[in-house]
Amino acid sequence: MTNRTHLNDQALDFRSRHVAGRPLVLPNAWDVASARIVADAGATAVATTSAGLSWDLGAADGDRLGRDEALDAVARIAAAVDVPVTADIESGYADAAQDVAVTVRAVLDAGAVGVNIEDAWHGGSAPLRPVEAQAERIAVARVAADAEGVALFVNARIDTYLMGAGEPEERLAATLERAVAYLAAGADGIFVPGAVDPVTVKALVAGVEGPLNVMAWPGAPSVDEFAALGVARISVGAGIAQAAHALVRRAARELLTEGTYGSLAGGLEYGELNALLGDGS
């Protein structure tokens, strides 16, 4: 079991970095190497990506991994960096709401001090869990963390925009309704992936009574532009993992079809990468 006092100190530090207009910027990692590289680049915290982590372990994203397998990977990441780690736990690695408590305790044992928990309902009868059902899962997570004496940052992910749930003209109101319920249940922040246009983001900032996290990708507003809108946290989801895997495919195809090696240019030096991973953690 990890030291809960140390974890709580990290959790409070992580929590303090969520400031509207001065966003916490999180380049998401999926394994020890990517986490070390992200931290070495200057990140003040490391966020995992469930998609990148799942792909690394040979599974598809979307609640396909088991709790133990996913959190073993999170534990390796948390042990490899000195900055706070927040874990993407998908919908909580639990069928029953009460079992989210088991996941939260395992997250803390893994050394993470934050979680993303999403309301996408993989395999359910609708794209999203009912509001009340998701609020219950968030409440269970909050109670479980508090019982362990750790101010775990619960980032409630609302997938209305990402999943295209409901009618477009009703999406903002539906998102804000969910945000109110999730914050009342004990969430600390609200994450709305899929919403990047300034008008929508500004409306979300105005309507959410807590730190707003957005997910960025090429073509989205810059960090400074999001900051000006009042965003408190910016992450990139699986974007870096996707870019890395695209390079693998590009290099492999070039080698196999052209017999050339141009795609390998610009890679990290062997010695630099080896040194970054060289203490055996």
Rounded to 10 degrees, the C-alpha dihedral 153/154/156/162 comes to 60
pLDDT at residue 234, rounded to an integer: 99
pLDDT at residue 126, rounded to an integer: 87
C-alpha span between 213 and 208 (Å, rounded): 11
**Cα distances (angstroms) measured from residue 149 to each of 8, 16, 61, 143, 170:** 7, 17, 31, 10, 39
Q: At residue 26, what are phi and psi to the nearest 5 degrees? A: -125, 100
Residue 248 lies in a domain: no
Residue 106 lies in a domain: yes
pLDDT at residue 279, rounded to an integer: 62
Token readout for 222 is 């810059």
Give the CATH number of the domain where residue 12 resides: 3.20.20.60
Residue 156 lies in a domain: yes
pLDDT at residue 281, rounded to an integer: 46
Residue 249 lies in a domain: no
pTM equals 0.95
- Laid out side by side, the sheet with 85-88 consists of 24-26, 233-235, 212-215, 189-191, 153-157, 114-118, 85-88, 46-47
Residue 281 lies in a domain: no
C-alpha span between 240 and 235 (Å, rounded): 10
* Under 8 Å between Cβ of 49 and 28: yes
Residue 259 lies in a domain: no
Residue 29 lies in a domain: yes
Q: What is the span of the domain harbouring residue 26?
A: 4-238
Residue 253 lies in a domain: no
C-alpha span between 195 and 215 (Å, rounded): 8
Count: domains in the chain = 1
Question: pLDDT means per 10 residues in the chain (281 residues)?
Answer: 91 98 99 98 98 97 94 98 98 96 98 98 89 98 98 98 92 98 99 98 98 98 99 99 98 99 97 86 46
